[in-house]
Chain A
Amino acid sequence: EPEVTQTPSHQVTQMGQEVILRCVPISNHLYFYWYRQILGQKVEFLVSFYNNEISEKSEIFDDQFSVERPDGSNFTLKIRSTKLEDSAMYFCAMTYQETQYFGPGTRLLVL
């Protein structure tokens, strides 16, 4: 089973600040995803990223969000100006043999 790591595990930030969440797959894959889970709620799809391009994004993924793979390995989610409602657990996932495997998540708290 492929392993996905995420950094940081926890992040606390002030409203209006920019945050960058990072995802590092152990092996080389092309398909990546970001999801978020607000405390006590279901997991929601944010964006999928294939071959260095966004292939699909949800309504949640507005202009304050962006994704990129800056160095061919790390996969990042940037939130430009955080809001209180961005507080959530953010999961990175990658596809391997038609199944998505998730990282352990980054817990983001916006104050």
Chain B
Amino acid sequence: GDSVTQMEGPVTLSEEAFLTINCTYTATGYPSLFWYVQYPGEGLQLLLKATKADDKGSNKGFEATYRKETTSFHLEKGSVQVSDSAVYFCALSDAQGGSEKLVFGKGTKLTVNP
């Protein structure tokens, strides 16, 4: 079945450092790809998405490019802030599986220190 693999955390960075969180996927069809963020004590918020190969999703300085050839959707940000501290989840949705349920990775906890 479909699956998502994220780099293991936790990740600890200093403010203004460059961030990369790796995400690769396995899917039978042509999935849409998402990054969700979960701030401490809160629910899941959509960060960005891409629906087809070579699409780039971006939001709040974060970017991720849908790479079909490497089945990847790595999250990047050029300069992180303390307020970016959260858990980041990579996810896919493959409508060919029936409903468009989301399949999540395990999550990567990011801590940004001042």
- State the A residues within 8 Å of B (CB): 1, 31, 33, 35, 41-45, 48, 50, 55-56, 91, 93, 95, 98-105
Contacts and interface: CB of A to CB of B under 8 A. Distances in A.
Contact of A42 (B42, B99, B100, B104): B104
A100 B95 CA distance: 13
Contacts of B101: 33, 45, 48, 56
B102 interface: yes
A85 B91 CA distance: 24
Contacts of B79: none
B49 A91 contact: no
Nearest to B93: A100
Contacts of A104: 42-43
B34 A102 contact: no
A93 B93 CA distance: 13
Contacts of A35: 102
B46 to A, nearest CB: 6
Interface of B: 32, 34, 36, 42-46, 49, 51, 89, 91, 93, 97-107
Contacts of A93: 102
Contacts, number: 57
A1 B44 CA distance: 13
Given A91-B43, A99-B49, A104-B42, 6 more contacts: A48-B100, A99-B46, A101-B46, A102-B43, A102-B44, A102-B45
B99 A55 contact: yes
A41 B109 CA distance: 11
Contacts of B34: 99
Contacts of B102: 33, 35, 43, 45, 93, 100
